[in-house]
Structure 1
Amino acid sequence: MKAFIFDLDGVITDSAEYHYLAWKALGEDLGIPFDREFNETLKGVSRTESLERILSLGGREQDFSLEEKEQLATKKNEHYVSLIS
């Protein structure tokens, strides 16, 4: 091997769709449905900030402790990983 290519931002493969599906599933679990238009506001945003935006959309930003928010973000990421597997 002379080189490796790392696609960390979805340039080579379109990972955005899987992020959308994983966030949408988490949102629906929390009673916060959202659409692709809202999802566009999450592109390029950290997982933590994306979660905060979703919770704010549903008026639930004060409903979870920091630890619970970390668990929610981890749950989203686990779902994302299962989708790309």
Structure 2
Amino acid sequence: MYDHYEALIFDMDGTLVDSGQLHEFAWSTMLNKYGIPIDRSFMRSLAGVPTKGTIEILLEKFNLKVDASLDEMNDFKEQVVHENMHKYVKPTALLEVAQKYHGVKPMAIGTGAYTQEAETILKICGLEKYLSAVVGADQVKNPKPAPDTFLRCAELLGVDPKQCVVFEDSKLGLQAAASAGMAGIDVLLVHAVENDYFL
């Protein structure tokens, strides 16, 4: 199905890894701690936006001043993720695609998560062996929907961006792929991946 591309790039959360419940739990815990309302459909629309960016958007949306820094709130959420990831994460149906092209085409992860967190989650899921590169939000100046994350993946894989296909579950991620000049596959439609994040 993807034989005519030279490289495959996957988003992680909600795409190659089923982590919706992990992040919903972590966000809910953090938002409750700092008194920020939980708007479920709005949270789902922000899938793929890095943590600090999401917090800034939420504070602006609800016109809130919180007695904590962005770093403190970010670190608290990351701590909850780290302490609970082993309970929630597992590979999605896209594991079959990764297995099919393992050793045939180079593959990478381009994620809004931080690199270290992504590498840990991929290891828990047994997915790290399929991937030649992992690019987290901490490796690029402009995260998704900017194209930087996926362009960095292509650079590390040594493949022309136009020869890459990106698997994504969010509109922002698909926008980033298009901006990078890459083909984008909506995994919710094409691969029936179910993302149970703030449904």
Amino acid at match of 1:54: L
Asked if 1 retains the 8 angstrom alpha-carbon contact of 2:34 and 2:66, the reply is no
Query: Structure 1 CA distance, aligned partners of 2:45 and 2:18?
Result: 17
* Deviation (angstroms), 1:41: 2.3
Deviations, residues 35-69 of structure 1 (Å, cap 9, x unaligned): 32121122010111011122223322x4457xx21
Q: Percent of counterpart pairs with the same letter?
A: 22
Q: Does 1:9 align with 2:12?
A: yes
- Name the amino acid aligned to 2:34: L
Q: Following the alignment from structure 2 to structure 1, what is the Cα–Cα distance between the partners of residues 22 and 84?
A: 6
SS of residue in 1 equivalent to 2:17: coil
Q: Is the Cα contact below 8 Å between 2:26 and 2:77 reproduced in 1?
A: yes
**Structure (1 or 2) with the greater helix fraction:** 1
Which residue in 1 is equivalent to 2:71? 70
Check 1:70–1:35 CA distance in 2 against 1; reply closer, same or farther (3 A cut).
Answer: same
Q: Which structure 2 residues correspond to residues 29-68 of structure 1 after superposition, within 5 A?
A: 29-60=33-64, 62-64=65-67, 68=69
| Residues 1:82 and 2:86 aligned together | no
**How many correspondences in the alignment?**
76
Q: Relative to total residues, which structure has the larger strand share, 1 or 2? A: 2
How well do the aligned residues superpose, as a CA RMSD in angstroms? 2.1
What secondary structure does 2:53 align onto? Answer: helix
* TM, length-normalised to structure 1: 0.70
Aligned to 2:163: none
Q: Which amino acid aligns with 2:28?
A: K
- How far apart in 2 are the matches of 1:24 and 1:58? 16
Counterpart Cα distance in 1 of 2:18 and 2:37: 23
Q: Kindly state the Cα deviation for residue 8 of structure 1 after the two structures are TM-superposed.
A: 5.7
Displacement over 3 Å in runs of 4+: 62-65
Q: TM-score, normalised by structure 2?
A: 0.34
Letter of the 2:30 partner, please give it. L
Long gaps (5+) in structure 2: 1-9, 87-199
Distance 2:24 2:46 in 1: 9
Distance between the aligned counterparts of 2:66 and 2:36, measured in 1? 13
